[in-house]
Amino acid sequence: MIRAFLKVALIVLFLQPSLRADHVIVAGGPALRKWEDLRIKEDQHDRWWANFIRASTLRMVEIRKAYGSNVPLVWIIYQPSYQARSREDGKPYTTWISEVAAERRATLIWFNDSASFIRAINSRPKGSIETFDYFGHSNRHAFMFEYGADIMAASTAWLHERDLSKIKSSVFAHNAYCKSWGCHTGESMSAVWKSKIGIPLEGATGATDYRVISFGKLPVSRGSWRR
């Protein structure tokens, strides 16, 4: 009788979603000024290296106000662009980011390409991701983890909507809130995300404006937000 009870209990425990609730924030990397300064002013990006870092920390404050001061934060950051910009500016940006993560009690995970990004997401416990936020460059079909760091006005590292089937939908809570704060995501990628992962991804139609972060506000859409 006891053995049967324990067997049933183990099965129930195995089938239950994770009791851990992670809040995942992804930050893409900045462009290099040596490329951006060759473009007309209206098309330049990332004069400030920390646009996506500052936006991430603003979201951390928002999450902890909404979900609790001790909820786990997982900060997944594209490292190569910050290393390159650090060399260009002569500043220890990756060290500063690590210090910010420690101060805010966030688990910091660096990644280098789409494969390591997918591994970082898929390594989360089953059903644990309660919120997911992406801060970085993007177009309607992809998160562009870097843009203008290797080649002017081009990306060499991205997560395309065709790759979303490689992400385990099981790591997300059934009612997870997911949002891309990049440009144009709501024009295509949001729908593919919902189809492949099974939960909505809120995204912008049109460009997003990061200038407002200097006033302590999260990026705004120049169009609208769409799920």
Looking at residues 150-179, what average pLDDT do you find?
A: 96
Q: What is the mean pLDDT of residues 82-109?
A: 98
Using a 10 angstrom Cβ sphere, with 0-12 exposed, 13-18 middle and 19 or more buried, the burial of residue 225 is: middle
Nearest to 62 by CA among 111, 126, 125, 135: 135
The whole domain housing 147 covers 22-226
- Asked whether the predicted pLDDT for residue 27 surpasses 50, the reply is yes
2 Cβ partners below 8 Å, 6+ apart? none
In a domain, 32, yes or no: yes
Would 129 be classed as within a structural domain? yes
What is the bridge-based pairing of β-strands 172-180 and 220-221?
unpaired
Residue 5 lies in a domain: no
Q: What are phi and psi of 219, to 5 degrees?
A: -55, 150
Residue 17 lies in a domain: no
Q: Is residue 179 part of a domain?
A: yes
Sign of CA dihedral 39, 44, 47, 49: negative
What is the rounded CA–CA span in Å between residue 31 and residue 75?
A: 20
Element (H, E) at 225: strand 224-226
- Going by C-beta distance under 8 Å and a sequence separation of 6 or more, which residues neighbour residue 99? none
Confidence of residue 146 (pLDDT cuts 50, 70, 90): very high
Total count of domains within the chain = 1
Q: Is residue 89 part of a domain?
A: yes
Mean pLDDT over each residue of the chain, to the nearest integer? 92
pTM of the entire predicted model: 0.91
Residue 212 located in a structural domain:
yes
The three-state secondary structure class of 212 is: helix
**Torsions phi, psi of 206, nearest 5?**
85, -170
- The verdict on residue 13 lying in a domain is no
